[in-house]
Amino acid sequence: MRTSRTVRMLAAVAVVLLLALPLIAEAAGHPAMTSLATRIIIYGIAAASLNLVLGYGGMVSFGHAAFFGIGGYVVGILYQHYMDGTPFLGFIPGTDQFLVTVPAAILVGGLVAGLIGALSLRTSGVQFIMITLAFAQMLFFLFVSLKAYGGDDGLIIRRANEALGLNLRDRPTMYYVCLTIAAGFFLLLWRLVNSRFGNVLVGLRQSERRMAAIGLPVYRYKLAAFVISGMGAGLAGALMANFLRYASPDMLHWTKSGELMIMVILGGVGTLFGPVIGAAVFLVLESMLASWTEHWQLGVGLVLLFVVLYTQGGVDALVRRLGGGRP
């Protein structure tokens, strides 16, 4: 009883802090905190999307940056064609409307995930890891070669998308938009992982043979999870493109997939909010260590090593254990 009361109190405090964060940052004279928090929210969505297949489904995908980058490029390409006044592929009109570009990024991210997953999920283990990595790298080099969309230099989005009269160039406004979307995303994710579908995914992680033996279509469940995960990553990529007003091939590079995987591991594999905690730890460490040395990755690696060896489930499990709850 005491533990549940403590959890509710901590959750209430966290909600109040999240809502008041831009005001606190401004009052403290550190407005950059709002931008950092926005990045944490966006990467938290991307990492949680990866966690759906990695933590719940047991599918180690090393190509999720592909869906993240595609989400960003959907926003950038549609904006460029809107500014040029030319349709994409000769029939798709460009647009700068947030309520059009973001759903489009989610849809395209899901379609690409469906195509990649349909082939990749016919394998497992190391083969699955390498195939997802190979597809992501192919898409990376594809966008590098597209000189019409910036090539190596990426695609500049000179103005953030229009969203119901909101000024998305204003950092607090963008923060609240991302926070609202993240709240809806994690609500849907919570419903999903606590549904029959989520239970099947956990069963697949433990033993695919047993799930197949009781008559469940294993391949279809895994493909559905992979598509949903790709849609979430596409959403995060679209938000990041609007936040940075820039889409780059680096968003699709395998190192970005590695960063998302580190966030999941740091926060806690197979937990709902662990990836957000992991994103916060990773980005705060990056910000702090990069100000001291250009070799900040070494510090992150040491922290990751400590988390893997001693927390028994990531930062989320460590916090639960310190709070007296079960990890």
What does each of the 327 residues of the chain score in pLDDT, given as a tens digit?
Answer: 445 666 677 778 888 888 888 888 888 888 889 999 999 999 999 999 999 999 999 899 998 999 999 999 999 999 999 998 888 888 889 899 999 999 999 999 999 999 999 999 998 888 999 999 999 999 999 999 999 898 888 899 988 888 888 888 889 999 999 999 999 999 999 999 999 999 999 998 888 888 888 888 999 999 999 999 999 999 999 999 999 999 999 999 999 999 999 999 998 888 888 899 999 999 998 888 877 877 788 888 888 888 878 777 777 777 776 655 555
> Which residue is associated with the tokens 């197949």?
212
Q: Residues 266, 280: contact at Cβ < 8 Å?
A: no
pLDDT of residue 326: 55
pLDDT of residue 6: 65
Q: How many CB atoms lie within 10 A of CB 249?
A: 24
pLDDT of residue 1: 44
CA torsion, ordered 133, 134, 140, 146, to nearest 10 deg? -160
- CA 13/CA 174 separation, integer angstroms: 22
pLDDT of residue 183: 94
pLDDT of residue 101: 94
State whether the Cα torsion 299-281-26-185 is positive or negative: positive
pLDDT of residue 314: 75
Q: Residues 81, 94: contact at Cβ < 8 Å?
A: yes
Helices 254-267 and 296-310, packing angle to 10 deg: 40
Who's near 221: CB < 8 A, 6+ residues apart? 197, 200, 201, 204, 211
